[in-house]
Amino acid sequence: MPVLVSSPESVCLPDSEHRAEYRALGYTVLADLWPDALSAALEAEALERWPHAEYPSGGPRTPIVEARAPKRQTPVACGDVLSELHAALTPVARALSSRVVVASFSAYGYYVGDDRVLLHVDSDQCDVTLLVNALGTVGPLHLRHELIGLDNAALGKFESDLDWDQSAGTRVHYPPHGLLAMAGNVLPHNRPEHAVDGINAVAALCYKSLY
């Protein structure tokens, strides 16, 4: 069964099954949304932008004790292809969330050496977060429904606890030629550290609700 149906305006929208899943679970996975050529363009742009990547000045920060601190930060870069995709996917974000959201922020995040993501919720710019595997391969994201309602200060206490199981939660892989959609500022998420080869990039596309 195809993931997408075409609206009268020729904008591909998620079908009712995926919209229902997003409403019920706060996330869904939409594979094969776009042609190989777009994935190739994202890959090329992510690689081209890598020398320009910088550490973000803002964004969510999970407070964590030194013993569990990550070995590195995640540098980010923006890009024209990514910006176009960001705008084009606005109807998808609206259909999933049933909210009037607007494109707020997009960037490639780079993982070199390891792919760890500290447990966090996204910023208030991310009522809907779409994640796309742009370059290379990283591990699945771990979604933590049991921790919904906690802010980053509280989530940091879990990351700081040496006995906390980083590998629990619902593991979701980024699909080929598509995206993981989630209520990023509500649903806590993390990725346990594991070694990765080469330069890897995940594109994050955020949408903020107007109301």
Q: How far is the CB of 2 from Fe ion (least distance, A)?
A: 28
Q: How far is the CB of 144 from Fe ion (least distance, A)?
A: 11
Mask: binding to Fe ion, 85-114, rule CB under 5 A, as x and -? ------------------------------
CB 101 within 8 A of CB 22: no
Could you tell me how many residues of this chain bind Fe ion (CB under 5 A)?
A: 1
How many CB atoms lie under 10 A from the CB of residue 48?
Answer: 12
With contacts defined by CB under 5 A, name the span among 33-41, 62-70, 118-126, 135-143 that binds Fe ion: 118-126
User: Which residue has its beta carbon closest to Fe ion?
Assistant: 122
Q: How far is the CB of 199 from Fe ion (least distance, A)?
A: 20
Report which of 95, 91, 100 is spatially closest to residue 18, judged by C-alpha positions.
Answer: 95
With contacts defined by CB under 5 A, name the span among 33-41, 117-125, 157-165, 190-198 that binds Fe ion: 117-125
Q: Which is nearer to Fe ion, 115 or 122 (CB)?
A: 122
Q: Tell me: does residue 115 bind Fe ion (CB under 5 A).
A: no
Mask: binding to Fe ion, 119-138, rule CB under 5 A, as x and -? ---x----------------
Report which of 177, 121, 178 is spatially closest to residue 145, judged by C-alpha positions.
Answer: 121
Q: Which is nearer to Fe ion, 122 or 127 (CB)?
A: 122
Report which of 140, 88, 78 is spatially closest to residue 110, judged by C-alpha positions.
Answer: 78
**71 φ/ψ sector (left φ>0, alpha ψ -120 to 50, else beta):** alpha
Contacts of 47 (CB under 8 A, 6+ apart): 135, 199, 201
Q: 109 burial class (0-12, 13-18, 19+ CB within 10 angstroms)?
A: buried
Q: Which is nearer to Fe ion, 42 or 118 (CB)?
A: 118
Cα–Cα distance measured from residue 159 to residue 156, given in angstroms and rounded to the nearest whole number: 5
Q: How far is the CB of 161 from Fe ion (least distance, A)?
A: 20
Give strand ranges (E) for 40-100. 76-77
Enumerate binding residues for Fe ion (CB under 5 A): 122
